[in-house]
Structure 1
Amino acid sequence: MEDAITIYVEQENGERVPVEAPTDMGLSVMEILKASEYDIPAICGGMAICATCHVEVLESGELPEPSDDEAFMLESLPHATENSRLSCQLRIGPALEGLVVRLKPEA
């Protein structure tokens, strides 16, 4: 696919599944994961107010800093790590080429 990047979703067994994502549609990582049939509830629809799209970033290039809203939501999660992000707040673009994430549980 032209104008696309590949991100990877690490499974529980360590396998990394590639997911192709178009860079020209303004989509978020959450939207790509949902379209790829990953179990991402995304109850708030990408507003950074529910944290049901929580992922742990295992490998990445330069990610943008979390917004205040995202940082607040991440601070409220008991299982968040320093590499936690809300996938709804990560916009697909060339800088995310090779991003590796692991889906995090809701509770």
Structure 2
Amino acid sequence: MEGACEASLACTTCHVYVKDDYLDKLPEADEKEEDLLDLAPFLKENSRLGCQIILTKDMEGLEVTLPLATRNFYVDGHVPQPH
């Protein structure tokens, strides 16, 4: 997973599919996340941006899968730093 925008909600490179058992344990996606997901290739009902998932003990065992491709948006010359 690339995470190109460093969790600034400017890309969809952290697009993941959350296993259905855990969807109800996550808070609802906010409008900005939903707008970005609308631009993500291979969108599904269980799509989320991984950078917006804050892990808690309730999510122990959480499984996600990656889509076949993601889309990166270059924003004003932003160069992501390694992490």
Alignment of 1:67 onto 2:43: no
Q: Identify the structure with bigger relative contact order (alpha carbons < 8 Å, sequence gap 6+).
A: 2
The one-letter code of the counterpart of 1:69 is K
- The TM-score, its normalising length taken from structure 1, stands at 0.58
Unaligned runs of 5+ in 1: 1-39
- Matching residue of 2:70: 106
- Matching residue of 2:9: 48
1:53-103: CA deviations, max 9, x gaps? 000011315111001111100111231101000000001111211211001
The CA distance in 2 between the partners of 1:95 and 1:69, in whole Å, is 25
Query: In structure 1, the residue corresponding to 2:65 is in which secondary structure?
Result: strand
- Length, aligned pairs only: 68
- Matching residue of 2:51: 88
The CA distance in 2 between the partners of 1:77 and 1:41, in whole Å, is 14
Aligned counterpart for 1:79 among listed residues 42, 51, 54: 42
- The TM-score, its normalising length taken from structure 2, stands at 0.73
Aligned-residue CA RMSD (Å)? 1.4
Identical counterparts, % of pairs = 37
The CA distance in 1 between the partners of 2:33 and 2:27, in whole Å, is 12
Which structure shows the bigger proportion of residues in strand conformation?
Answer: 1
- Matching residue of 1:57: 18
- Matching residue of 1:14: none
